[in-house]
């Protein structure tokens, strides 16, 4: 049979209007937002690619499942359906619902965290790192070496560096190993089955549990099918089971591959561990059969988990990211390759070559995408991840200056993506004229959420043309509305 071209494997039943804005309006809106896209109202955004977390469209089957939600405090059949979906798909017997992924992390580290423990991961997502660190533990990232080159076509740039992991395990104080699939902080890049087996081998050698941060497990399994030798003919559901059979448990944000707007869980094999986790769950999240979720949310997640492993969906999902990445690459736009599973990453250091890292090229580029076409993206560079020299206290750059365009699941069409490509191309053509930015005010932690920025004219010495007045007064009503949601 000839292979059919890949299309969106759904049709649209309900639509949400997009409010179009003019360039003049956007100039004013961005000024009022202190040049920070987190302070924009979503109604003032044309294409919102800030995050793929909880922003996707649910299917008609998920909406129908909401009506079936049983809101009983204890023993709800909605929980049974949720539990069965996790058991069937991931193979873990013990299933503990939480209101979202970070609550599962918090629970896990309430047992495995604390000083002087060290938690290795391919790359901690920011909430995972924060939960480990708040518990007193040290969060260590061991991404594979290939992940350092944004242009390398290595197929599994999400892999963990096994040599670094062994060195960390030999130092001791490691209570468990984590691995994030796909590697969100590392560009949505997948982890191979071979690498997962290598990690399991080291966990066996050092007698340690392995927990998977499972947020994008469906996307990861799809890349294993497509990119790993000998996997091409296998069912995604079997690959998923192979991945999780190597682990002792997982944490999950159902806002990602749970295809829901809210939800999460922790799952594991060890009954004693699960019982202890449930005792703690009641204190902060709720009774073990709802864990901070409404019965209807449990239903939406149960249905979403079954939909995310469908191969027509995953083929479309991967194609929709690849389409944008390859179109941009053909136009000479520096973009992270190979395409990842949930987002397109622009390499702002190469895009805006004339801007030194001190002028935050990633943030400058994110602002231009909004001005040019009302696209909201997110800097993942020095503003978000920059450090401080412990001796001089001076700012140090992040490893990369990236702009992430996260694609919500089943939400935008190919013509929306054509628009995104056109806007980025237009910004790229006028890149030499783009000004840098400077931080005007910044909170001590997680500054990307709360900082305000000024523009710096190209060619001027660092910070010289900074005009604080031009930024305008930040609308405090907006600031209050903003949550400190760390999920970006
Ligand atoms: C989103 C995310 C989390 C946290 O999940 P929330 O539901 O936002 O709390 C953890 N790890 C990864 C890899 C994520 O992408």
Q: Separation of 428 CA from ligand 1 center, angstroms?
A: 31
SS3 426: helix
Residues 472 and 33: their CA atoms lie apart, in Å, by 8
- Given a contact cutoff of 8 angstroms between Cβ atoms, the answer to whether 298 and 70 are in contact is no
Is residue 215 within 6 Å of ligand 1 at its C-beta?
A: yes
Is residue 217 within 6 Å of ligand 1 at its C-beta?
A: no
Question: Best mutation site among 54, 129, 184, 343 for ligand 1, i.e. most ligand atoms within 8 A of its Cβ?
Answer: 184
| Residue-level length of the chain | 488
Tokens of 57: 């469209």
Is residue 253 within 6 Å of ligand 1 at its C-beta?
A: yes
- Cβ neighbours, 10 Å, residue 21: 17
Is residue 184 within 6 Å of ligand 1 at its C-beta?
A: yes
Helix axes 217-227, 311-330, angle to 10 degrees: 70
Residues 77 and 65: their CA atoms lie apart, in Å, by 12
Question: Best mutation site among 102, 158, 219 for ligand 1, i.e. most ligand atoms within 8 A of its Cβ?
Answer: 102
Q: Separation of 218 CA from ligand 1 center, angstroms?
A: 15
| Residue environment code for 196-205, b if the CB has 16+ CB neighbours within 10 A, otherwise e | bebbbebbee
The protein residue whose alpha carbon is closest to atom 12 in ligand 1 is 125
Q: Tell the residue number behind the tokens 């059979």, with chain if given.
A: 245
Is residue 219 within 6 Å of ligand 1 at its C-beta?
A: no
Q: Separation of 5 CA from ligand 1 center, angstroms?
A: 32
Is residue 125 within 6 Å of ligand 1 at its C-beta?
A: yes
The protein residue whose alpha carbon is closest to atom 5 in ligand 1 is 101
The backbone region for 104, taken as left when phi is positive above 0, alpha when psi lies in -120 to 50, beta otherwise, is alpha
| Residue environment code for 374-393, b if the CB has 16+ CB neighbours within 10 A, otherwise e | bbbbbbbbbbbbbeeeeeee
Question: Which ligand 1 atom is nearest residue 263's CA?
Answer: 7
Question: Best mutation site among 119, 217, 255 for ligand 1, i.e. most ligand atoms within 8 A of its Cβ?
Answer: 255
Is residue 131 within 6 Å of ligand 1 at its C-beta?
A: no
The protein residue whose alpha carbon is closest to atom 11 in ligand 1 is 125
Enter the DSSP assignment of 143.
B
- Match domain 23-52+311-479 to its CATH number in 3.90.1150.10, 3.30.930.10, 1.10.760.10, 3.40.640.10: 3.90.1150.10
Is residue 188 within 6 Å of ligand 1 at its C-beta?
A: no
Mean pLDDT of each 10-residue bin along the chain, 488 residues long: 86 96 96 94 97 97 97 94 98 98 97 96 92 94 91 93 98 97 87 98 98 98 97 97 98 98 98 97 93 97 98 96 97 94 96 95 97 96 85 88 96 97 98 93 77 75 41 38 36
Give the pLDDT confidence score for residue 465 in this predicted structure: 42
Is residue 256 within 6 Å of ligand 1 at its C-beta?
A: yes
Give the pLDDT confidence score for residue 390 in this predicted structure: 82
Model-level pTM?
0.91
What are the residue boundaries of the structural domains of the chain, listed by start?
23-52+311-479, 60-308
**Spatial CA neighbour of 236 closest among 215, 250, 252, 220:** 220
Q: Tell the residue number behind the tokens 């996997």, with chain if given.
A: 231
Question: Which ligand 1 atom is nearest residue 255's CA?
Answer: 7
SS3 352: coil
Is residue 255 within 6 Å of ligand 1 at its C-beta?
A: yes
Q: Separation of 290 CA from ligand 1 center, angstroms?
A: 19
The backbone region for 117, taken as left when phi is positive above 0, alpha when psi lies in -120 to 50, beta otherwise, is beta
Q: Separation of 387 CA from ligand 1 center, angstroms?
A: 22
Residues 365 and 346: their CA atoms lie apart, in Å, by 9
Question: Which ligand 1 atom is nearest residue 262's CA?
Answer: 7
Q: How far is CA 342 from CA 8, 9, 157, 311, in A?
A: 15, 17, 14, 16
Give the pLDDT confidence score for residue 469 in this predicted structure: 43
What percent of the residues of the chain are helix, what percent strand, and what percent coil, each to the nearest 5? 45, 15, 40
Q: Which uninterrupted H or E stretch holds 456? A: strand 452-456
60-308 has which fold?
A: 3.40.640
Give the pLDDT confidence score for residue 448 in this predicted structure: 80
Is residue 180 within 6 Å of ligand 1 at its C-beta?
A: yes
Is residue 342 within 6 Å of ligand 1 at its C-beta?
A: no
Beta bridge partners of 96: 266
Tokens of 415: 């013509």
């Amino acid at each position: 049979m000839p292979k059919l071209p890949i299309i969106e494997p759904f049709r649209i039943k309900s639509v949400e209007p997009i409010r179009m804005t003019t360039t003049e309006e956007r100039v004013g809106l961005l000024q009022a937002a202190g040049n920070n896209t987190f302070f924009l109202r979503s109604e003032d955004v044309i294409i919102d690619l800030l995050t793929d977390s909880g922003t996707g469209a649910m299917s008609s089957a998920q909406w129908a499942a909401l009506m079936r939600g049983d809101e009983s405090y204890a023993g709800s059949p909605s929980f049974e359906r949720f539990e069965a979906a996790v058991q069937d798909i991931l193979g873990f017997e013990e299933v503990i619902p939480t209101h979202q992924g970070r609550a599962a992390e918090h629970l896990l580290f309430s047992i495995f965290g604390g000083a002087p423990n060290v938690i290795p991961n391919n790359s901690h997502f920011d909430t995972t790192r924060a939960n480990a660190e708040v518990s007193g533990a040290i969060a260590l990232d061991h991404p594979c070496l290939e992940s350092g080159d944004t242009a390398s076509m290595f197929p599994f740039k999400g892999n963990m560096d096994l040599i670094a992991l062994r060195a960390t395990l030999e130092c001791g104080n490691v209570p468990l190993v984590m691995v994030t699939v796909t590697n969100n902080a590392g560009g949505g890049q997948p982890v191979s089955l071979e690498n997962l087996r290598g990690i399991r081998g080291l966990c066996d050698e050092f007698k340690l549990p392995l927990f998977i941060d499972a947020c994008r497990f469906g996307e990861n399994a799809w890349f294993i099918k497509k990119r790993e030798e000998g996997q091409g003919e296998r069912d995604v559901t079997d690959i998923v089971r192979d991945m999780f059979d190597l682990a002792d448990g997982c944490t999950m944000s159902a806002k990602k591959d749970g295809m829901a707007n809210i939800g999460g869980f922790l799952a594991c094999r060890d009954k004693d561990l699960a019982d202890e986790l449930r005792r703690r769950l009641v204190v902060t999240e709720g009774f073990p059969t709802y864990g901070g979720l409404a019965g209807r949310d449990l239903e939406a997640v149960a249905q979403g988990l079954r939909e995310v492993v469908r191969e027509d969906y995953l083929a479309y999902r991967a194609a929709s990211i690849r389409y944008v990445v390859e179109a941009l690459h053909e136009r000479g736009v520096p973009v992270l390759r190979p395409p990842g599973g949930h987002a397109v990453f622009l390499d702002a250091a190469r895009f805006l070559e004339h801007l030194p890292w001190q002028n935050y090229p990633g943030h400058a580029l994110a602002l231009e995408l909004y001005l040019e076409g009302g696209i909201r993206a997110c800097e993942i560079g020095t503003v978000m991840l920059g450090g401080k020299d412990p001796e001089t206290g001076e700012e140090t750059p992040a490893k990369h200056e990236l702009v992430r365009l996260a694609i919500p699941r089943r939400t935008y069409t190919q013509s929306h993506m054509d628009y995104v490509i056109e806007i980025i191309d237009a910004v790229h053509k006028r890149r030499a004229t783009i000004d840098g930015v400077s931080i005007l005010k910044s909170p001590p932690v997680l500054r990307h959420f709360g900082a305000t920025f000024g523009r710096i004219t190209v060619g001027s010495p660092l910070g010289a043309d900074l005009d604080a007045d031009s930024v305008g007064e930040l609308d405090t009503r907006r600031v209050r509305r903003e949550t400190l949601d760390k999920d970006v």
